[in-house]
Amino acid sequence: MAHERLQFHEMGLDDRLLKAVADLGWSKPTLIQEKVIPLALDGKDLLARARTGSGKTASYGIPVIQRILASKQNVREQDVRALIVVPTKELGHQVQIMMRQLTAYCSRDIRVADISSKVDLSTQRPILMEKPDVVVGTPSRVLAHLNAQNLVLRSSLEMLVVDEADLIFSFGFESDLKNLLCHLPNIYQSFLMSATFNEDVQTLKELLLHNPVILKLQGSQLPDSSQLQQYSIKCEEEDKFLLVYTLLKLCLVKGKTLLFVGTVDRCYRLKLFLEQFGIPACVLNSELPVQSRCHIIAQFNQGFYDYIIATDEQSLTETAAEPQTTAGKEKKKTQKKGGKAKDKEYGVSRGVDFQNVANVINFDFPKTVESYIHRVGRTARADNPGTALSFVSHTELGLLSEVEEALTGDETNSPLKPYEFKMEQIEGFRYRCRDAMRSVTKQAVKEARLKEIKQELLNSEKLKTYFEDNPRDLQLLRHDKDLHPAVVKPHLKNVPEYLIPEALKGVVHPLTSRRRRRKEIQRPGGVIKSSFKKNIQGKNPLKSFQYTGGKNRKGKASQS
């Protein structure tokens, strides 16, 4: 018999919560929400694993809000009742937004404060003195406020959530979290949420949970192939640039795309390379100030940018190109290079809800299976479709095997299919790519990196001051401007017709500066880009082209 999914209105939720959920356009709970919400409302401790993008935030957010609303009916002093611990500032910001959306109709009754950002403790003290009902923060920030007695939880805390639990220890928060627990009352309800399970989650479980209900939902950690198409293509360093140029410039990849690289330097290398061809992209990495990072993500979600070049978590080393065959444990230390400290509470591949991402491209292959899952999990979120394409150099083949083995599990076929692309057809572009690469020198990368940081520090001051008051001004603040106009060669911006492979003539329409400007003008904030909609209808060439030798020996691009 078909399983009837429990509906939100059948869960005994407050009307104000139901209205907020309806405003978000959620017609029914996701699987994790259906399971977690009733158990959480029943007072159970929970350990929940569900795949990326499956709606874990609301699965704890809704019961936390419901329980606070219920307990507020028996008039009690204003107090901090729930603490949500997250591993990164980006996630803190995002959880706060989600909690505010869910409390839109009861914002007077339930206040939510995010204390993740690294301003002076004294600046946040007044917020905490008002005892917001829900506090969101990284372990180190929460502990600092507890030690400073800006926050007192011993008598008031009713619920503790640890989101992205698998990351808390690997981000170096073990001792902070243990110390934090000494400030909590003896009895409270706890939730541990995670997309992956590892030993650290097991340790946390023993530390935090009492007789928990353990929910391991969906065998696979990523959506199946009807929702998420995964491809890999073997290509060496120069070919990576050649291929990414072709995919983006000929618009073979449609819709919003996240490109993951292995180091901060490579962010700028790739950005400068694309800049030469008039392909604008934002970079996102741990050196940028948190306000800028959150603004970039917010604008990307509103459709301002098509491409973000990101490093993932702070733990990546500066030597991405080095061979690495075993998925080692992720390093915990903040990286320092050239005296620049990176933010150890940074992470974009974990938990951040980039919306309507059509494609994830692993320009550099991730160093661990977990990292692969989290990166790829930025697309195909909720019920949306998505595509992931990984470039794999010979030094990265070992990592590809590890990922394939982990994702294949008991099945016979790996979910990663070879992306069959006839590289010889795009040989004509190689000369242009080399020409562009010649300008992307070490010095140019260094200068771009410095310029961007300076620029973003200025931006972040503006963001601090004006975010609340002048949202319109902020719409004008862009993060994808050319970083090194001096090295840009104007002739590279257009694609001469004779270079377009025969198979693609008349099919692709290269991105030109004029088209880019028109797109910018047409695209109002907050609207999902039309190309993504096309993508939903299955017109993404990344999915539908077999531009290849392989089965299609004629070398023609054919639509399947």
Q: Which residues bind ligand ATP (CB under 6 A)?
A: 26, 29-30, 33, 50, 52-58, 195, 351, 353, 355, 377, 381-382
Minimum Å distance from CB 273 to ligand ATP?
29
3-state secondary structure of 193: strand
Query: Whose Cβ is closer to ligand ATP: residue 50's or residue 283's?
Result: 50
Minimum Å distance from CB 124 to ligand ATP?
25
CA distance 312 to 342: 12
Please check whether residue 348 is in contact with residue 298, taking contact to mean a CB–CB distance below 8 angstroms.
no
- Those residues with Cβ within 8 angstroms of residue 15's Cβ, 6 or more apart along the chain or in another chain: 105
Query: Whose Cβ is closer to ligand ATP: residue 51's or residue 422's?
Result: 51
Query: Whose Cβ is closer to ligand ATP: residue 321's or residue 382's?
Result: 382
Please check whether residue 207 is in contact with residue 179, taking contact to mean a CB–CB distance below 8 angstroms.
no
Minimum Å distance from CB 371 to ligand ATP?
13
Query: Whose Cβ is closer to ligand ATP: residue 30's or residue 324's?
Result: 30
Minimum Å distance from CB 251 to ligand ATP?
26
CA distance 56 to 298: 20
CB atoms < 10 A from the CB of 115, how many? 25
Minimum Å distance from CB 185 to ligand ATP?
27
* Parallel/antiparallel/unpaired status of strands 82-85 and 134-137: parallel
- Biggest CA–CA distance in the chain, Å, is 76
Query: Whose Cβ is closer to ligand ATP: residue 139's or residue 351's?
Result: 351
The pair of structure tokens assigned to 13 is 């939720």
CA distance 297 to 424: 36
Query: Whose Cβ is closer to ligand ATP: residue 381's or residue 543's?
Result: 381
Minimum Å distance from CB 355 to ligand ATP?
6
Query: Whose Cβ is closer to ligand ATP: residue 12's or residue 323's?
Result: 12
Nearest by Cα to 381 from 195, 247, 530, 254: 195
Minimum Å distance from CB 334 to ligand ATP?
23
Query: Whose Cβ is closer to ligand ATP: residue 88's or residue 285's?
Result: 88
CA distance 299 to 481: 14
- Give CA angle at 344 (343, 350), nearest 5°: 105
Residue whose pair of structure tokens reads 């975010």 in the numeric block: 467
Query: Whose Cβ is closer to ligand ATP: residue 263's or residue 384's?
Result: 384
3-state secondary structure of 179: helix
CA distance 447 to 551: 45
CA distance 62 to 21: 9
Please check whether residue 509 is in contact with residue 494, taking contact to mean a CB–CB distance below 8 angstroms.
no
Query: Whose Cβ is closer to ligand ATP: residue 376's or residue 487's?
Result: 376
Please check whether residue 290 is in contact with residue 118, taking contact to mean a CB–CB distance below 8 angstroms.
yes
Minimum Å distance from CB 296 to ligand ATP?
17
Minimum Å distance from CB 34 to ligand ATP?
9
Q: What is the enclosing helix (H) or strand (E) of 391? A: strand 386-392
Query: Whose Cβ is closer to ligand ATP: residue 18's or residue 321's?
Result: 18
Residue whose pair of structure tokens reads 């491809």 in the numeric block: 231
CA distance 407 to 393: 20
Nearest by Cα to 367 from 422, 311, 408: 311
Minimum Å distance from CB 8 to ligand ATP?
8
Minimum Å distance from CB 186 to ligand ATP?
29
Nearest by Cα to 516 from 542, 547, 474, 478: 478
